[in-house]
Amino acid sequence: MTLWNSSSMPKELSVPIQLFIDAQQKCYAKKLRFFLLLKLLYSCGKTRLEEDELLFIEFIEEIRCRKTSLGYIEFLREKGWLFFNQRTGYYLLKSFERIRRENNWEVGLAFPIDINSYKNIKAVTGAVIYGYLHKDF
């Protein structure tokens, strides 16, 4: 059992703003929120996502059905942001920098997310888009 340890949890993540914009455009905000929680809980970049960990994540995310969690995990695997290592049994979380490079996102701006703000993904996305447009124009 490897549930998060508050001392190893990062205070905040610097999330590329293009990630919020892409999630809004392609309608995967809840899945992005799930990914951000994984990144916050597992700052080392890997987890087993065993039963107790999934229960904890589902409790925090208020997910009532395991099928939803598994759907989010499958979506993240298809995106290539979550990779399952058969040999070790760990899921590996892709870094934001690699996601940025792989999507050819030129904008280097990022928005800070912490455990208190990640849940308000719609508000954060709105603020990011508004701020980006304001800065750009």
Distance CA 56, CA 111 (A): 26
Domain residue extents for the chain: 13-136
Distance CA 94, CA 101 (A): 11
Distance CA 93, CA 81 (A): 6
What is the structure's pLDDT at 5? Answer: 52
Model's pTM, two decimal places? 0.89
In this prediction, residues 80-90 reach a mean pLDDT of: 97
> Could you tell me which of 62, 106, 98, 61 has the C-alpha nearest to residue 80?
98
Distance CA 78, CA 99 (A): 13
Distance CA 65, CA 53 (A): 14
pLDDT digits over 30-84, tens only?
Answer: 999 999 999 999 999 999 999 999 999 999 999 999 999 999 999 999 999 999 9
